[in-house]
Amino acid sequence: MNRIQSTGHNIAANGIRHHYLHYAGPGPALVLVPGITSPAITWGFVAERLAEVFNVYVFDARGRGLSSSGPELDYSLDAMADDVVAILDALKLDNAIILGHSMGARIAIRAAAKDASRMGRLVLVDPPVSGPGRRAYPSKLPWYVDSIRLAEKGMDAEAMRAFCPTWTEEQRALRAEWLHTCYEPAIVTAFEGFHTDDIHQDLPKLDMPVSLMIAGRGGVIEAADEAEITTLNPAIRSARVPNAGHMIPWDDFDGFFDALDTLLGTSFGKK
């Protein structure tokens, strides 16, 4: 199958500039919201495959990639959730699937609780379930900050191996190229928000199909966490990717799409 090429765009929404990559596909709109230090381009290998079925948009969250950044911006979960709502309005996307990974999944939950009028369903990929009075997120802040500071000075794929030892050279090189665009105060604010923002209060408010993808080796969502989530919203369907860590498609690309087949009724695994 021919590789689906992306086009880059900028759009004004919620008072700032948002950069996104569009992978034009044949089906319904799917908006991919990446994690804490993942500029849109680093999800390109996933978006290309998704675009076989969906019309895919991948955004740089504020303070990352080519979207607006700097000390004057608000990097809270609520601000980023408002961004998603405003972007959907600006692009006039209706009944959109919102697929969020990690921080992006938390953004999707909060955005849908605020205003789901343009959303059709959510796919939550291994969201941190930390929060007030809860188990801490297993990754540590220095892992992010140290790698960003090295990237700001200039680093290559080999230097990135210390932070992402299981990734391919191509994946490490792309992260090394783009990580310097992650504004450190934005990352610190988001990481602290993993422990101060309560997304569990939002889960009962989600009145749409919601799917949960869990990394079997990630340590982010344990069995008790999954049980609590489904208690708060019994309609949530889940699928586990047994051989993947938190960065699921990086660890098990086929497993990621097999899980999507289970959750969305697609047939990526049969192609």
Distance CA 213, CA 115 (A): 23
| Per-residue tokens: 208 | 């749409």
Phi, psi values for residue 32, rounded to 5°: -100, 125
Token pair 């489904």 is found at 230
Residue type, 123: V
* Catalytic annotation, pick one of 18, 19, 101, 246: 246
| Per-residue tokens: 22 | 């569009």
Q: Locate the domains of the chain by residue range.
A: 7-135+194-270
* Catalytic annotation, pick one of 158, 169, 184, 222: 222
Residue type, 195: H
pLDDT value of position 4: 81
pLDDT value of position 5: 86
Phi, psi values for residue 121, rounded to 5°: -165, 165
DSSP structural state of residue 161: T
Task: Assess whether pLDDT exceeds 60 at residue 264.
Answer: yes
Residue type, 10: N
Distance CA 45, CA 205 (A): 33
Condensed to tens digits (0 to 9), the pLDDT of residues 27-49 reads 999 999 999 999 999 999 999 99
Task: Assess whether pLDDT exceeds 60 at residue 21.
Answer: yes
Condensed to tens digits (0 to 9), the pLDDT of residues 116-168 reads 999 999 999 999 999 999 999 999 999 999 999 999 999 999 999 999 999 99
Distance CA 65, CA 33 (A): 13
Cβ atoms of 110 and 78 within 8 Å: the answer is yes
Strands of the chain, DSSP E: 7-13, 16-23, 29-33, 55-59, 96-101, 119-125, 210-215, 237-241
Distance CA 31, CA 224 (A): 29
Distance CA 176, CA 188 (A): 19
| Per-residue tokens: 269 | 């695994």
| Per-residue tokens: 37 | 């230090």
Cβ atoms of 143 and 163 within 8 Å: the answer is yes
Please tell me whether residue 246 adopts helix, strand or coil conformation.
coil
Model pTM score: 0.97
Task: Assess whether pLDDT exceeds 80 at residue 1.
Answer: no
Distance CA 119, CA 85 (A): 9
Region 90-101: mean pLDDT is 98
Q: Domain 7-135+194-270 class?
A: alpha beta
246 is known as an active-site residue: yes
Distance CA 125, CA 123 (A): 6
CB atoms within 10 A of CB 227: 10
